[in-house]
Amino acid sequence: MEQASLQFAGLFLSYFLKIAVAYLLCWGLMRFLDDPRNRFRLWLGFLLGSGIYWALLVFSNLPGFSAAGTAAALTNAGGASFAPHFFIPLAFYRAVSWSARILFWVYCSGFAFLVSTAVWKHRRLRQLLHSGTEPTPELERLFDLLARDCGVRGCRLVILPALSSPATVYWLHPRILLPESCASLEDLAQLADVLQHELEHIARRDYLWASVSDLLCGALFFHPAAWQARKHLRLQRELACDQAVVAARPEHRADYATTLAQFVRRHMLERRASVGVDLASSGSILGTRIRAILSEPRSTPWWQKVSRVMASAGLIALFGVFCPVLAVFVEFAPQLLPAAAGSTQPQADAGRAHRKLAVVPHRAQQNSVAHTPAETLTSLRTKYVPETPVFQLSRAVDNSSEPVPLLRPETPRSSTVTYPFPKPSVAGVVTAAREIGAIVRSGQRPPRSGGNKPDSDDMH
């Protein structure tokens, strides 16, 4: 379990690094693209690719998944020799286990919170639509004419008093929502620009892609690159719709910029929540949109287009070459792993079990000492002493009263041995035995070794 957690941690770090580098690549490629529609496709592809890659990593670590090794191969193939390896000490075995569980539940809680927030907004939108009213006949005719020009079918126009900015909702049965202030506009040209912008959102299916990007950001909420890509996606879709409005009526550039600024100002002052794809959903991009509306389109030379294509291809090729090197491996220290093949239980369990076995018998031995009966001569247990080759006799040569040991271990071979009496021989032993036997037979006492001093009995 913990080894699998470390493996997934390495895959997660590799994923984080690769997505960050991919974001930098897309940011660089965006500089070579002038059309906001192409930029929108670029960031949408980045989000879709990041989400698919993350889903592959997650499902590959689930038990029973058929493509279990696919994610690891895509993540670490080709860069194993150059990728950094991080070894976790075995002392952090329990911490790794708890951290994996905590991070798993934190991720599930964050994803569930974001999904529940999106569901709540959807329910709130359905409640707001019940309070909508029908537009005036004049406004309805203008809307039908613009919808026919844009090729949009099955769309309805609804007036909502709770809105501060026009918005587009749904994609199967789209609705364009207008605040009451728009319905009371006397200048139909300004209102036509606003409706043209919202109809472009429906033709591009921006509400669908906005919902997909929200879902992907909910799954990838831990990565800042996903949120930045979502921000770029919103900006480029607004610029693409503004470009379509300006291309349809170029003479209304200034009026359309003024109308946009009014809606953004009202949206920021009232601070109402967004209910869909709003015309003025973000005031921070107002300056960028107004500059894009007022600027004249310019043509790009062919050589500049070719150079941009070659530079883009070079960046993509460079990313493909260095992407496998961005793999990270995290595992326990190899010298501390169990030597048995196929064993997934680290050696920490063995060490802990060994310490338990070393402590428990010691305590049991202490408890059993008090109940052990006293030892007797027949049950006395002695320590085994190995035999030595030679023991040497020693004898005192003086008449001192100190005790003299009879036996002592053999002196080292390297030292010189001195004897207090001549070394005995076979002939001397036989002669001594004969003399002792003759003395015993005659009834006399053997002489003492101290000399010719007479005994006390002879004195008498």
Q: Tell me: the pLDDT tens digits for 232-267?
A: 999 999 999 999 999 988 888 888 898 888 888 877
pLDDT band at 271 (very low <50, low <70, confident <90, very high): low
158, pLDDT greater than 80: yes
pLDDT band at 320 (very low <50, low <70, confident <90, very high): confident
Token digits for 31?
A: 């500089």
Residue that has been written with the tokens 């890509």 in this structure: 229
More confident residue, 132 or 361: 132
Q: Give per-residue pLDDT as tens, 378-418.
A: 555 555 555 554 444 444 444 455 554 544 445 455 455 55
Question: Mean pLDDT over residues 28-57, rounded?
Answer: 93
What pLDDT score was predicted for residue 206? 93
> Using the 8-state DSSP alphabet, how is residue 302 labeled?
H
What pLDDT score was predicted for residue 243? 92
Token digits for 18?
A: 């690769």
More confident residue, 164 or 273: 164
What pLDDT score was predicted for residue 94? 77
336, pLDDT greater than 60: no
What pLDDT score was predicted for residue 51? 95
Q: Give per-residue pLDDT as tens, 183-214.
A: 666 667 788 888 999 999 999 999 999 999 99
Q: Give per-residue pLDDT as tens, 7-36.
A: 777 788 889 999 999 999 999 999 999 899
Lowest mean pLDDT, pick from 141-150, 161-170, 238-247: 161-170
- The overall average pLDDT reported for the chain is 75
What pLDDT score was predicted for residue 109? 94
Question: Mean pLDDT over residues 76-83, rounded?
Answer: 52
What pLDDT score was predicted for residue 398? 47
Residue type, 139: L
DSSP string, 27-46: HHHHTT---HHHHHHHHHHH
Q: Determine phi and psi for 186, rounding to 5 degrees.
A: -85, -25
More confident residue, 52 or 342: 52
Lowest mean pLDDT, pick from 69-78, 136-145, 233-242, 350-359: 350-359
DSSP string, 309-361: HHHHHHHHHHHHHHTGGG--EEEE-GGGS-SSTT--S-HHHHHHHHHHHHHHH
125, pLDDT greater than 70: yes
Q: What gap in Å lies between CA 244 and CA 238, rounded to an integer?
A: 10
Q: Identify which of 68-72, 108-112, 285-289, 419-423 has the greatest average pLDDT.
A: 108-112
Question: Mean pLDDT over residues 207-225, rounded?
Answer: 94
Lowest mean pLDDT, pick from 58-67, 234-243, 321-330, 349-358: 349-358
Token digits for 444?
A: 């006399």
Question: Mean pLDDT over residues 328-357, rounded?
Answer: 50
What pLDDT score was predicted for residue 252? 84
Question: Mean pLDDT over residues 223-233, rounded?
Answer: 95
More confident residue, 345 or 442: 442
What pLDDT score was predicted for residue 369? 43
Burial class (CB within 10 angstroms; exposed 0-12, middle 13-18, buried 19+) of 8: buried
Q: Determine phi and psi for 305, rounding to 5 degrees.
A: -65, -40
451, pLDDT greater than 70: no
Q: What gap in Å lies between CA 261 and CA 188, rounded to an integer?
A: 17
Q: Which of 130, 210, 138 is nearest to 162 (CA)?
A: 130
Question: Mean pLDDT over residues 112-119, rounded?
Answer: 92
Q: Which value, in Å, is the radius of gyration of the alpha carbons in the chain?
A: 49
Helix or strand holding residue 169 (H, E): strand 167-169
What pLDDT score was predicted for residue 352? 47
Lowest mean pLDDT, pick from 99-103, 274-278, 383-387: 383-387
Q: What gap in Å lies between CA 315 and CA 229, rounded to an integer?
A: 19
Q: What gap in Å lies between CA 380 and CA 49, rounded to an integer?
A: 81
pTM, entire model: 0.68
Query: Is residue 77 within 8 Å of residue 324, measured between CB atoms?
Result: yes
Q: Is 425 helix (H, G, I), strand (E, B) or coil?
A: coil
Token digits for 397?
A: 């040569």
Sequence-distant (6+) residues with CB within 8 A of 93 are: 2, 332, 346, 348
- Angle of helix 206-219 relative to helix 36-60, nearest 10 degrees, comes to 40
Lowest mean pLDDT, pick from 84-88, 141-145, 430-434: 84-88
- Angle of helix 137-150 relative to helix 188-203, nearest 10 degrees, comes to 40
